[in-house]
């Protein structure tokens, strides 16, 4: 596309709309406005035009506002109060400290458009200016009711401290990399961390670039409230019926719910089995003199289940050796005695919980530091001050579908 063709034919620009669906209502709650150009009967994306730094800033802004004006005029004719997601280059936005955009939006506010329907999307990692100045501008926008969304999280490098500083209302998480099988597992771990960040920040998660059912399932399972992508609906020149996918999404989510309940039930049942087994095993350990003497007795009973055992006190100091299964043989690793594990996430919380409830806990799935495998740990109170930890092997979990 020749940029000069765009600049001399701005009347051929037009907005396309990509629907955004909600998890709670199973319906369209908003649209992302995308810029298009009618070029000899073909509709082309203006993305390359806006990302071409060789084109003067004022020309890119002029075309952007021409498309945005058409979109906002169209939204004024709609009965539904959809959210309107608009993309803005933060570098261009800071040219006049966001005044021209605010003036345009206020012009439509005077026509009856509530500014709390506007969601301003910016890509944080593309910004090259002073982050504090951008932060002040975004907070200023928020005083008008405008929502802030950080776009393309997960697609390229994003600094979590910068994201936190900008205090967005919405995090848009890109799921494209989930389609690359060699990176899928590690990327899922990153996205899980982002879901925790969003919860801590009080931000809503919007998963974008969803092109398959398994991506929608992943987004649903990891705290997604809003969803967007070709699997749901492609960008179009017209808005769609808000309930166009209501039945489909309800069916999909019921399927996901059933699958998740099955997994949770398997985890619960496994926890109960370990609880019963440990109660039986501990009767054999009462007369043993040391904690290292206890470990082989327990390992013999659970040899096909776990690959590492150790005992800690209530403060996380290890009181036993590690007892580790290597090539079908069990060995003691005394160098782990007196190491402290209280720094691990949820360690002290789980200690207090076991002390209070007097029963064991099965951890969530995590990557073991030493083996790199996905494992779970079952922890169990052996008395009022000491706790045994059993690291459960990946193969055992896989066979019983509790991954």
At 205-254, the pLDDT tens digits run 999 999 999 999 999 988 899 999 999 999 999 999 999 999 999 999 99
| pLDDT score recorded for residue 186 | 64
Statement to judge: residues 288 and 254 lie in one domain:
no
| pLDDT score recorded for residue 46 | 94
Kindly give the parts of the chain with pLDDT less than 70.
154-159, 179-187, 401-403
Statement to judge: residues 208 and 309 lie in one domain:
no
Q: Is residue 265 part of a domain?
A: no
Owner of token pair 């776990």:
306
Statement to judge: residues 38 and 68 lie in one domain:
yes
DSSP one-letter code for 385: S
Closest to 316 (Cα-Cα) out of 285, 347, 337 = 347
| pLDDT score recorded for residue 402 | 63
pLDDT digits (tens, 9 = 90+) for 351-375: 999 999 999 999 988 888 888 888 9
| pLDDT score recorded for residue 198 | 87
pLDDT digits (tens, 9 = 90+) for 131-154: 899 999 999 999 999 999 998 776
Statement to judge: residues 107 and 216 lie in one domain:
yes
How far apart, in Å, are the Cα atoms of 215 and each of 150, 173, 221?
20, 12, 10
Statement to judge: residues 168 and 130 lie in one domain:
yes
Q: What is the CATH classification number for the domain harbouring 339?
A: 3.30.450.20
| pLDDT score recorded for residue 183 | 52
| pLDDT score recorded for residue 185 | 62
| pLDDT score recorded for residue 197 | 82
Helix H or strand E segment including 375: strand 374-381
**Roughly what angle, to the nearest 10 degrees, separates helices 213-221 and 246-282?**
60
Which residue segment(s) compose the domain that 292 sits in? 271-399
* Domains of the chain: total: 2
Statement to judge: residues 223 and 299 lie in one domain:
no
| pLDDT score recorded for residue 126 | 77
Q: Which two tokens stand for residue 217?
A: 């399932």
CB 299 within 8 A of CB 309: yes
| pLDDT score recorded for residue 152 | 79
Q: Which two tokens stand for residue 343?
A: 């720094």
SS (H, E, C) 229-267: CCCCCCCECCCCCCCCCHHHHHHHHHHHHHHHHHHHHHH
End-to-end, the C-alpha distance of the chain in Å comes to 48
Q: Which two tokens stand for residue 4?
A: 């000069």
Q: What is the CATH classification number for the domain harbouring 13?
A: 3.20.20.450
Statement to judge: residues 297 and 250 lie in one domain:
no
């Amino acid at each position: 596309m020749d940029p000069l063709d765009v600049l001399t034919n701005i009347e051929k620009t037009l907005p396309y709309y990509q629907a955004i669906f909600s998890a709670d209502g199973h319906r369209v709650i908003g649209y992302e406005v995308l810029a298009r150009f009618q070029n000899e009967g073909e509709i082309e994306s203006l993305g390359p035009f806006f990302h071409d730094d060789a084109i003067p800033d004022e020309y890119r802004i002029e075309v952007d506002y021409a498309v945005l004006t058409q979109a906002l005029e169209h939204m004024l004719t709609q009965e539904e109060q959809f959210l309107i997601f608009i993309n803005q280059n933060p570098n261009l936005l800071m040219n006049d400290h966001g005044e021209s955009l605010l003036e345009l939006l206020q012009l439509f506010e005077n026509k009856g458009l509530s500014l709390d329907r506007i969601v301003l999307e910016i890509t944080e990692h593309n910004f090259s200016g002073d982050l504090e100045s951008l932060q002040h501008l975004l907070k200023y926008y928020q005083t008008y009711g405008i929502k802030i969304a950080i776009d393309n999280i997960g697609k390229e490098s994003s600094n979590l401290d910068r994201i936190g500083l900008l205090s967005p209302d919405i995090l848009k998480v890109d799921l494209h990399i989930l389609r690359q099988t060699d990176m899928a597992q590690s990327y899922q771990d990153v996205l899980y961390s982002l879901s925790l960040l969003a919860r801590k920040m009080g931000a809503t998660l919007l998963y974008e670039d969803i092109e398959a059912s398994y991506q929608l399932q992943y987004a649903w399972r990891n705290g997604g409230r809003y969803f967007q992508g070709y699997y749901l609906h492609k960008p179009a020149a017209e808005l769609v019926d808000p309930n166009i996918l209501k039945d489909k999404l309800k069916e999909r989510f019921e399927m996901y719910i059933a699958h998740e309940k099955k997994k949770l039930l398997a985890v619960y049942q496994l926890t109960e089995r370990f609880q019963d087994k440990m109660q039986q095993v501990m009767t054999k350990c009462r007369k043993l003199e040391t904690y290292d003497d206890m470990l082989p007795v327990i390992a013999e009973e659970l040899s096909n289940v776990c690959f590492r055992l150790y005992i800690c006190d209530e403060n996380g100091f290890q009181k036993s050796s590690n007892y580790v299964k290597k090539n079908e043989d069990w060995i003691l690793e005394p160098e782990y005695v007196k190491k402290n594990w209280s720094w691990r996430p949820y360690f002290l919380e789980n200690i207090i919980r076991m002390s209070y409830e007097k029963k064991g806990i099965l951890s969530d799935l995590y990557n073991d530091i030493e083996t790199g495998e996905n494992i779970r740990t079952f922890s169990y109170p052996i008395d009022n001050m000491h706790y045994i930890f059993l690291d459960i092997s990946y193969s055992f979990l896989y066979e019983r579908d509790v991954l």
